[in-house]
């Protein structure tokens, strides 16, 4: 039924702070800013990162944190670069969860509005192959 992913939208209190995360951690580029105009429900910005459309809209933060998350694929060297960027921005990194060899490594961090992000250096095929052993 679906053809693929259209876009991801994150509602955040501060568009500029979230912009830094998308640009500095995810390697995204801003492609649109509504400025003071409101075409949707609030001011917004659009980014392109890794071929994905990421939208951020101004609004209230999530009330709490959970393990619900979005995971972006990265290479092992990119994982270490991202770890440095996450630390530089003062974002809260979660300790890594236990993993089995061959599953791929991950970096988990929360943004300023309680969204959990995962940067993962692995694929579904690799994980299934490992779990099948």
CA atoms within 13 Å, Cβ hemisphere of 32: 14
Catalytic residue among 44, 48, 81, 118: 44
Please say if 44 is a catalytic residue.
yes
| Contacts for 17-23: CB closer than 8 Å, 24+ residues apart | 17/112, 18/45, 18/56, 18/111, 18/112, 18/113, 19/45, 19/47, 19/56, 20/89, 21/89, 21/91, 21/111, 22/47, 22/49, 22/54, 22/56, 23/47
Active site residues: 44
């Amino acid at each position: 039924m679906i053809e693929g992913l259209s876009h991801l939208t994150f509602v955040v209190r501060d568009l500029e702070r979230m912009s830094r995360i998308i640009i500095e951690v995810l390697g995204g580029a801003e492609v649109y800013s509504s400025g003071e105009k409101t075409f949707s429900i609030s001011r917004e910005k659009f980014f392109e990162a890794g071929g994905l459309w990421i939208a951020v809209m101004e609004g209230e933060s999530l009330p709490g944190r959970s393990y619900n998350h979005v995971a972006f694929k990265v290479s092992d060297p990119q994982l270490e670069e991202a770890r440095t960027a996450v630390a530089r921005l003062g974002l809260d990194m979660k300790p890594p969860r236990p993993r089995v060899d061959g599953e791929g490594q991950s970096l988990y961090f929360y943004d300023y509005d309680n969204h959990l992000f995962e940067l993962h250096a692995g694929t579904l095929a690799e994980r299934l192959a490992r779990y099948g052993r």
